[in-house]
Amino acid sequence: MNIENFISSAAARAVESLYGDGCGAQLQIQKTRKEFEGDYTLVVFPLLRSSRKSPEATATEIGERIVADNPEIGGFNVIKGFLNLTLSPAFWAARFAEIVSAENYGQAAPTGRTVMIEYSSPNTNKPLHLGHIRNNLLGYSVASILKANGHNVIKVNLVNDRGIHICKSMLAWQLYGGGETPESSGMKGDHLVGKYYVEFDKHYKAEIAELVAGGMSEEEAKRKAPIMLAAQEMLRRWEAKDPEVYALWEKMNGWVYEGFDVTYKALGVDFDKVYYESQTYLLGKSLVEEGLKKGIFFRKEDNSVWIDLTADGLDQKLLLRGDGTSVYMTQDLGTALRRFEENNLDDMIYVVGNEQNYHFQVLKLVLKKLGYEWSDNIYHLSYGMVELPEGKMKSREGTVVDADDLIADMVQTARDMSAELGKLDGCSKEEADAVSTMVGLGALKYFILKVDPKKTMLFDPRESIDFNGNTGPFIQYTHARICSILRKAEQGGIAYDAPGMCSYLPEEIEIIKMLTDYPSVVAAAGEAFSPSFIASYAYDLAKLFNGYYHDHSILREQNQSICCMRLQLAAQVARVIKSAMALLGISVPTRM
């Protein structure tokens, strides 16, 4: 049952019976604020013209009619022009029975909409780092939330496998690598290639300094540094399909893909499709030619192609370099067209950091000017950067937090803290390994996803593994604790398949109320593309249950009906916690 619809209908019937047809359309209903008694509040001020009475008298009159006509509504109270309605314990018991019997609780009916979500989008010149972790976790979680909202979701990765940044790593490996391979060095392939991206930057800076010392301006030195000119020449040769450059590119990218796959698996994310920039940039070039013919784009004296967006409040945007090589915008145009045509998409969501806000503003506008109406269905899920207590990360200088190292450190920290707190007592080595991995990754994922995506966040690894407070391990431990209670009930032969017929304490009704909120929280998270809604809900539910369990016995309850009801209540809390955490990509242990 949709409770808000039920309340709205009951209130509309009462209002129209009192004041005439049409009055029900003016209703404003919201959840009652926590400091007041009640479940839902009707704002009566808009009805005063029809009632011709004071706010208090109007609210009282409506409240009496609603309670008289609806046994599910147990009472009401009036505070000025606000009518607070309280649903009866029997009403909540019926909702609890619905939750227990619902097979896929929190899962919406199919909508028929096809939504594609792009996340990860790494460059093949360096390993994944902490910034990529936020991107991957956010994209994977939003995809799961959209699936729970009934959409057909296609998870995709766009690998930026070509361009000047890729050539920098290739050139540095050619010049300084001495034939080093992942096998000979013992390094993961993505780490090895990233090493040469840093190496390129080191030599590039040295050449700039030398040219500046010789009297050249810094800007000119950046353009004329021999290593940069060589990288630009390598890019031209790649686009011309030079066999030697192409073979090197395939070999080094192969190393990187093997490395990425290891990291994705450790992080627990995956994709339905992978697109490669090298396969879409030519389609983008053809769109640029189409725009030139239509007069939407223009060519400058150096042969570069641009679009003038000053009339739209933006500026001029480069679409193709003078030497004919592509820029990011070129391939993004081609990729967008291919995706919408191949998959018949309703929506396309790009999970990309907020430093690219302008880029996606331009992408949508250029596609619109080219006549593609589906550009209105492109959404940029812009997220803030991840910073560390010591400041920002820089890839070129090699001062990033490597994703593989961070995952390993989180698992080790989880193991150390769990052992210290006695959480692994009685566990076999295999169980301890599994729990440590689950808790370490759960801590990492929850800490990142509990923050609103738009906000820049500060990541503190040790704080994230605290077993108390708003953390993943606290929620995971609550689930494990409930599983322990249910195991003991099973061992004691206590069945709890159906909730017992008994009276409910106010604290139990509060838990049922919160369980009934779950589908609406999933819907709200889908609307906002924000896993933080789910994280906040999971924490509040775990905290509410822990407070209840502290004050009330479950297994030692003497009344069998009450004992069975409490076991079922605990089971449903565990079920919803598991479901909510799964939407965050987090597994929950049954023992801990």
Report whether pLDDT(587) > 60: yes
Could you write out the DSSP letters of every residue in 454-504?
Answer: TS-EE--HHHHT-SSSSSHHHHHHHHHHHHHHHHHHHHTT---SS--SS--
Sign of the C-alpha dihedral computed for residues 369, 371, 377 and 379 taken in this order: negative
CATH 3.40.50.620 maps onto the chain at: 119-387
Cα–Cα distance for residue pair 591/113, rounded to 1 Å: 39
Across residues 392-406, what is the average pLDDT?
65
The DSSP bridge partners found for residue 31 are 40
Q: Is the pLDDT of residue 396 over 60?
A: no
For residue 497, pLDDT over 90 is answered with: no
Residue 418 and residue 439 in contact, taking contact as beta carbons nearer than 8 Å: yes
DSSP collapsed to 3 states, 129-168: EHHHHHHHHHHHHHHHHHHHCCCEEEEEEEEECCCHHHHH
DSSP string, 36-94: SS-SEEEE-GGGHHHH-S-HHHHHHHHHHHHHHH-TTEEEEEEETTEEEEEE-HHHHHH
pLDDT, average across residues 521-550: 98
What is the per-residue pLDDT across 39-84, written as a single tens digit (0 to 9) for each? 999 999 999 999 999 999 999 999 999 999 999 999 999 999 999 9
Task: Calculate the CA dihedral of residues 419, 425, 426, 432 and round it to 10 degrees.
Answer: -20
- CATH of region 3-87: 3.30.1360.70
pLDDT (0 to 100) of residue 398: 47
Predicted pLDDT of residue 277? 87
Which pLDDT band holds residue 532 (cuts at 50, 70, 90)? very high
What DSSP state is assigned to residue 305?
Answer: E
Q: What pLDDT digit, counting tens, does each position of 414-457 carry? A: 888 888 888 778 788 888 889 899 999 999 999 999 999 999 98
At 13-45, the pLDDT tens digits run 999 999 988 777 778 899 999 899 999 999 999
> 403-583: CATH homologous superfamily?
Isoleucyl-tRNA Synthetase; Domain 1 (1.10.730.10)
User: For residue 399, what pLDDT is reported?
Assistant: 55
Quickly state the pLDDT bin for 499 (edges 50, 70, 90): low
Pairing outcome for strands 316-320 and 347-353: unpaired
Residue 200 token pair = 């390129």
For the whole model, what pTM was predicted?
0.90
Q: How confident is the model at residue 500 (pLDDT cuts 50, 70, 90)?
A: low
CA 367 from chain centre, in angstroms, equals 26
CATH C-level class of 119-387: alpha beta
* β-strand partners of 117: 155, 349
CATH 3.30.1360.70 domain extents, the chain: 3-87
| 298-299 vs 305-308, strand pairing mode | antiparallel
The residues that bridge with 297 in the sheet, in sequence order, are: none
What pLDDT does residue 397 have?
A: 47
> Could you read off the pLDDT of 332-347 as tens digits, one per residue?
999 999 999 999 999 9
Q: Inform me whether the pLDDT recorded for 565 exceeds 50.
A: yes
* Sheet containing 305-308: order of strands: 298-299, 305-308, 316-320
Query: Kind of pairing, strands 347-353 and 114-118?
Result: parallel
Are 75 and 89 spatial neighbours (Cβ–Cβ below 8 Å)? no
DSSP string, 518-567: HHHHHHHHHHHT-THHHHHHHHHHHHHHHHHHHHS-STT-SSHHHHHHHH
CB 285 within 8 A of CB 319: no
Question: Tell me, what's the pLDDT at 428?
Answer: 83
Report whether pLDDT(391) > 80.
no
DSSP-derived 3-state class of residue 590: coil
Considering the chain, tell me which residue range(s) the CATH 1.10.730.10 domain(s) occupy: 403-583
Q: Which of 320, 304, 250 is nearest to 278 (CA)?
A: 250
What is the percentage of the chain residues whose pLDDT exceeds 90? 81
Side chain identity at 11, as an amino acid letter? Answer: A
* Averaged pLDDT of the chain: 92
Summarised one tens digit per residue, pLDDT across range 265-313 is 999 999 999 999 888 888 999 999 999 999 999 999 999 999 999 999 9
CB atoms within 10 A of CB 25: 10
Average pLDDT rounded to a whole number, residues 464-470: 83
Q: How many Cα atoms occupy the beta-carbon half-sphere of 37 within 13 Å?
A: 9
Predicted confidence band at 355 (pLDDT cuts at 50, 70, 90)?
very high
Strands 273-276 and 152-159: parallel
Query: Rg of the chain's alpha carbons, rounded to an integer?
Result: 30
